[in-house]
Chains A and B, each alone.
Chain A
Amino acid sequence: EIVLTQSPDFQSVTPKEKVTITCRASQSIGSSLHWYQQKPDQSPKLLIKYASQSISGVPSRFSGSGSGTDFTLTINSLEAEDAATYYCHQSSSLPWTFGQGTKVEIK
């Protein structure tokens, strides 16, 4: 099973600040890494697919990069509505796995 480890677990950020969340895979997964945002009491929402591909309707301040074992989700100029928990997910091999989540709080 591929283990995904996110860092940090928690981040408190002021609006307009840049946020970087990393996801490290226990073995190479190519670009089969996706990012989701989950707000309280809501279902997850796809933000980035295949490491860096943007999703229609997702604000351009969200971007992804990486390949192999190291991946990054970047939120440029954080907005109050971005308060949420962010998860990475690998679809390279079964069982699909998720990172433990990174909670982003707005100061």
Chain B
Amino acid sequence: EVQLVESGGGLVQPGGSLRLSCAASGFTVSSNYMSWVRQAPGKGLEWVSVIYSGGSTYYADSVKGRFTISRDNSKNTLYLQMNSLRAEDTAVYYCARGVSVDPWGQGTLVTVSS
């Protein structure tokens, strides 16, 4: 069964850092486009970042220079390193596979607040 399980969310102060993880099973992370998409409370979906199978990475302007997407092929896991966090980064963060995104993980909540 194809599955994605995120972890690493939590409460962090403005300016702080967090690293999200997404453990994949049933497929190989490095062979797929893998993305992070977030959803602020009560709001719509916002694409954050993607890593291509070849390793190229791209970011939304709102997180460029602060967030870094990466993967560990040996662990079949996707990561999102988030630095210089702001209140507006508060959201549920989903990891997801593919261009036509399927499946999505269950999401992990990141709350940036003092």
The reply to whether the CB of B27 lies closer than 8 angstroms to some CB of chain A is no
* Cβ proximity bits B31-48 to A, threshold 8 Å, 1 near / 0 not: 000010000000011110
Please state if B94 and A44 are interface contacts (CB–CB under 8 Å): yes
Within 24-47 of A, Cβ neighbours of B (below 8 Å) are at 32, 34, 36, 38, 43-46
Which residues on the B side are within 8 Å of A98 (C-beta)?
44-47
Q: B91 to chain A: closest CB distance in Å?
A: 13
The reply to whether the CB of A71 lies closer than 8 angstroms to some CB of chain B is no
Please state if B58 and A94 are interface contacts (CB–CB under 8 Å): yes
Nearest-neighbor residue (CB-CB) of B59 within chain A: A95
Do most interface residues of chain B lie in helix, strand or loop, or is the interface mixed?
A: loop
- Supposing A44-B94, A87-B45, A89-B45 touch, asked if A95 and B101 sit within 8 A by C-beta, the answer is no
Interface residues on B, range: 10 to 19
Q: B38 to chain A: closest CB distance in Å?
A: 11
Which of A91, A95, A99 has the most C-beta atoms of chain B within 10 angstroms of its own C-beta? A95
Residue among B47, B94, B107 making CB contact with A96, cutoff 8 Å: B47
The reply to whether the CB of B60 lies closer than 8 angstroms to some CB of chain A is yes
Please state if A49 and B100 are interface contacts (CB–CB under 8 Å): yes
The reply to whether the CB of B50 lies closer than 8 angstroms to some CB of chain A is yes
Which residues on the A side are within 8 Å of B35 (C-beta)?
96
Please state if B104 and A45 are interface contacts (CB–CB under 8 Å): yes
Please state if B46 and A36 are interface contacts (CB–CB under 8 Å): no
Please state if A44 and B104 are interface contacts (CB–CB under 8 Å): yes
The reply to whether the CB of A65 lies closer than 8 angstroms to some CB of chain B is no
Residue among A34, A43, A55, A95 making CB contact with B104, cutoff 8 Å: A43
Please state if B101 and A36 are interface contacts (CB–CB under 8 Å): yes
CA distance A49 to B102 in the complex (A): 10
- Supposing A44-B94, A95-B58, A95-B60 touch, asked if A89 and B44 sit within 8 A by C-beta, the answer is no
Please state if B47 and A43 are interface contacts (CB–CB under 8 Å): no
Chain A: residues with CB nearer than 8 A to chain B?
32, 34, 36, 38, 43-46, 49-50, 55, 87, 89, 91, 94-101
Other than the given A87-B44, A95-B58, 11 more pairs (CB < 8 A) read A34-B101, A36-B101, A43-B103, A43-B105, A44-B101, A46-B101, A46-B103, A55-B102, A94-B50, A96-B47, A97-B47
